[in-house]
Amino acid sequence: MVEAPRNLQLPSGYDEEFVYEVEDDFICSICQLTLKEPVQTRCGHRFCNACLEEHLRRQEVQNQPYTCPADRKGLDRDRDVFPDNATGRKILSMMIKCPSDGCLWTGELRNKEAHLEACPFKIVTCTSENCHVTVKRKDLEQHVTDTCEWRIIECEYCEDLHPKRHVQDHLENCSKIPLPCPNSCGDVIPREMIPNHIDKDCPLLVPCPYAQMGCNKKFLRENVDSHLESNMREHFEFACVQLNSTQVLLNKQRVQLDKTRVQLDETRDQLDETQVNLYATRGQLDETRVQLVETKAKLSRLTQDQLKNTQEYQESTRKLNEKLRALQMQMGMEVDTDKDGGCNKRFVWKIKSYSESLRQAREGVKKKIESDPFYTGRYGYKLKVFAHPYFKELSPISPQFVIGIVLMEGKYDGILPWPFSRKITFTIIDQNSDLKERKNYSHFFSPRKRELKDMKFLERPGGKVKAVESEPLFFIPHKVLITRRYIVNNTLFLEVDVGPDD
């Protein structure tokens, strides 16, 4: 397992292209990038505020004294660290170039956001729903009005609104679109009116009313009556043939129905026999349970030493349990064979469609994903895992993939120790096909006894609060996830190992 590199825990600084080279005094000693929200220590070293906070947080988690990352001198977190506003103002006064390709703007760093809000060369996403095409801001209007496949267009026939890419599919089924008569009479009518036109208005050929009987002749609508009168005998013969065919089919169906009835009677007899056996088995099960309860009640009055030495009790209990389990299996009841009762070795969460989850999180559609709930053992805690694929609250410039847990109300909370105090190890699994080359990425969370009272999410859930979500416990920079085969076929595996109580 590979521990997270320290300089990747909380990246900071600016990703802009400065007009002039940045002085060494303005470089963070931790992330080696330009200082952001600079702070200075008593010993004179400067760091990004977020970088130093992460350094001190790791020392606190590892129960180490606070020290300066540069010279390892001791620090008082409240008195020896203060904002370096003068350096911050100098950095914000530095000249930068616009990061947008093609833009010639240069200005002070503090004016960057205002410029990007109106920069015509900045890459933006199409405003049409479901369209994820990105273009330069200056080309957005033309894309939305002329080329976007998701722009809304009104049907010229029914006036319904549809995306441009679906207009052709709509026209193939539009009820208002005019079509020529299928009989080629020369009339053009809306699609929804064609059946009525053929039945009542079309002046050309129509099929014989006895077409289903076998008459295939067609004629002008005005000649229907004369056709029926002149072909009465032929139509009668068609009707007789159809009637005979129907009678034969009816006789076959009657024979099949009789067979089905016989099978139904046999099934009912089998069902009655099964019910009788079931009642008898239930009676035996009840009798066995009574015997087991009586035996346990009788032997419970013995002392602990006598119980250990009573082979009769052990043999009787074993036989009764075997008999009870056999009867349960005979009745189709679930038999619990788990005798461990301890912690599950691990829970593996398969996160599919990782890129889609990342995109939805980046766009704010769905910021969080959650695993299925699981128990930590036969009579254990009920948990589930959550992840933020695009978490930027700690560093807006360098979002991360973060993981935490949700402690849920479970079946066995009444017999478990509270607050929750078990060590949890999170592992991103390297999917390299060569096992010797795999280097998993791990982090663990272990609440200490003196801190449990400050972690409200470890308290027992209940009442109106059925689940309590933790703060983010595991931070993984996006650039770490692409350094090895952590994501293969758009799938990521996260292993959660819950240990015993600390």
- List, for residues 177-230, the tens digit of each pLDDT value: 898 888 777 788 898 888 888 777 777 667 788 888 888 877 777 778 888 888
Q: CA separation (Å) from 232 to 50, 214, 238, 244, 245?
A: 97, 13, 10, 19, 20
- Percent over 90 (pLDDT), the chain: 24
> What is the per-residue pLDDT across 403-441, written as a single tens digit (0 to 9) for each?
999 999 999 999 999 888 899 999 999 999 998 899 999
For 303, the token pair is 């002392």
Report the alpha-carbon angle 160-166-172, nearest 5.
80
CA pair distance 216, 240, nearest whole angstrom: 17
Q: What span, in angstroms and rounded, lies between the C-alpha atoms of 266 and 272?
A: 10
Token couple for 486: 């952590």
pLDDT in tens, 152-184: 888 888 888 889 888 888 888 888 889 888 877
Residues 184, 187, 188: CA angle, nearest 5 degrees: 105
Let me know if 292 is exposed, middle or buried by CB neighbors in 10 A (0-12, 13-18, 19+).
middle
Q: How far apart are CA 212 and CA 453, in angstroms?
A: 84
- In sequence order, the 6+-apart residues with CB closer than 8 A to the CB of 403 are 385, 386, 387, 426, 472, 473, 474, 476, 494
pTM for the full model?
Answer: 0.35
pLDDT of residue 312: 67
Number of H helices, E strands in the chain: 12, 26
Total count of residues recorded for the chain: 502
Predicted confidence at residue 332, as pLDDT, reads 43
- Calpha distance 91→83 (Å, rounded): 14
**How many Å apart are CA 22 and CA 20, to the nearest integer?**
6
The pLDDT value recorded for residue 187 is: 84
